[in-house]
Structure formats: C-alpha cells, structure tokens
Amino acid sequence: MADILVIVAHPQIEHSSVSARLMRRAGRVGAGVEVRDIYALYPDYWIDTAAERAALGAARLVVWLHPVHWYGMPPLMKLWLDEVFGFGWAYGPGGQALRGKALWLALSTGGSQDSYRPGGHNRHFFDAFLPPYEQTAALAGMRWLPPLVLHGAHRVSDAELQAHEDVFADRLSSYPDWPELAELADHSACIVPTDERPAG
C-alpha cells in the first residue's frame, strides 16, 4: 500500500488536457504513490467501498485530482465521497479512519484566473468555491493543504502545462517536506454529537 493516494476523477480522461498528464506523471513518481482512476474503475458507478477505504487507510496524503465542474467535483467523485466517507467511519462517533491524514486538491478550471474575481463572469475569487472541500477535510479530521490549481486549462501553452506538471510531481515526491507546511495547523477537529443521526 502507498503513502500517497491519488484519486483521479475525470469523466472523459481521453479528452483531458491536464488531468491525464498529471495522472500519468503521478504513476511515474515511485512506489510510494498509488493512482486510482475512479471513472476507469467504476464505469457502472458501483463503488467498492471496502477497497477504497483500504487504499485510504494506508495513505498519509490523499490527493483529489479532477477538473472543476459547476464549481465543484465531477459526479462520480461526489458519489465516491458519499459512499466512502461514511458516518461512523470518516466522521461522527467512531469515525476516526482519516484523522491526521492530509488532503490536497489538484484542480483545473476551464475559466481563466481573471474570470474568478469580482467583476469576472464567475463573480468570486476561486477560494470562495473551496469551503465545502475544506470543511469535508475538517469533518474527517484531515489536514487541509493549499490546493494546486491550473486555470484556463483549455488555453494554457505546453510550456505552462509542463511547468504545472513538474510542480505537481515535485510535490508528490517531496511530501511531507513542503516549506509551507510548517506554518499550517495539523487539523481542526469537528466533533459530531452522537445523536446527530438516528440509530439503526
């Protein structure tokens, strides 16, 4: 089992300009990295929860690699999250399985960086769309790491994409020796009351 688990979620990876390259590069980083392309693994959307939890259990760093769809994650990624991050396993009473692990997003957007600002057509800075991800990490007791984002994925030059890919690979190969991690909190605990969910 690997120290770093990369969960790739791209509905049409064959048409990807970013995710496919990063996925291939992650696969070449070394034995400590496991790459799971969930659209290839689960084309019928029947997720093997036990297998996914086993992979997560072995990892220190969990990476979610996907394009941003409608300001969030692709549909199978959302289903994966619903199925795998279960109450009593990832959060809530007894839900300690992910506590202390780190979550890192490697995202790409179709919109340019300028479109993510007041006055741009996305109206907000990109960070405004990240709270659901960050809160998911907090609820599971995971350490939230600053995301790696490539904007305007359909229009970047090959040199820009190569530089982005190199940063991604360097981060995977050097984890946890990232200079900025010394300034980050380990994780914030969100205590879910035992009566939050009905019994049974």
- pLDDT for position 121: 95
Confidence of residue 5 (pLDDT cuts 50, 70, 90): very high
Please say if the pLDDT value at position 198 is more than 70: no
- pLDDT for position 200: 52
Q: Which of 125, 109, 20 is nearest to 67 (CA)?
A: 109
**pLDDT tens across 73-129, in order?**
999 999 999 999 999 999 999 999 999 999 999 999 999 899 999 999 999 988 999
- pLDDT for position 183: 81
Average pLDDT in the chain: 92
- The reply to whether omega before 74 is within 30° of 0 (cis) is no
183 versus 140: which is more confidently predicted? 140
Confidence of residue 187 (pLDDT cuts 50, 70, 90): low
Confidence of residue 199 (pLDDT cuts 50, 70, 90): low
- Report pTM: 0.94
State the average pLDDT over residues 51-79: 97
Contacts of 194 (CB under 8 A, 6+ apart): 93
Amino acid at 107: L
Domains for the chain: give ranges and CATH numbers. Answer: 4-18+31-177 (3.40.50.360)
Give the DSSP letter string of 126-189. Answer: GGGG-HHHHHHHHHTTPEE-PPEEE-STTT--HHHHHHHHHHHHHHHHHTT--GGGGGS-S---
- pLDDT for position 112: 85
- pLDDT for position 188: 65
Compute the residue count for the chain: 200
Give the DSSP letter string of 86-126. Answer: -BTTTBSTT--TTTT-EEEEEEE-SS-GGGSSTTSTT-S-G
Q: What percent of the chain has pLDDT over 90?
A: 80
- pLDDT for position 196: 77
Integer CA distances (angstroms), 35 to 10, 19, 102, 117, in order? 13, 12, 16, 33
If DSSP codes are grouped into helix, strand and coil, which group holds residue 69?
A: strand
**pLDDT tens across 150-177, in order?**
999 989 999 999 999 999 999 999 999 9
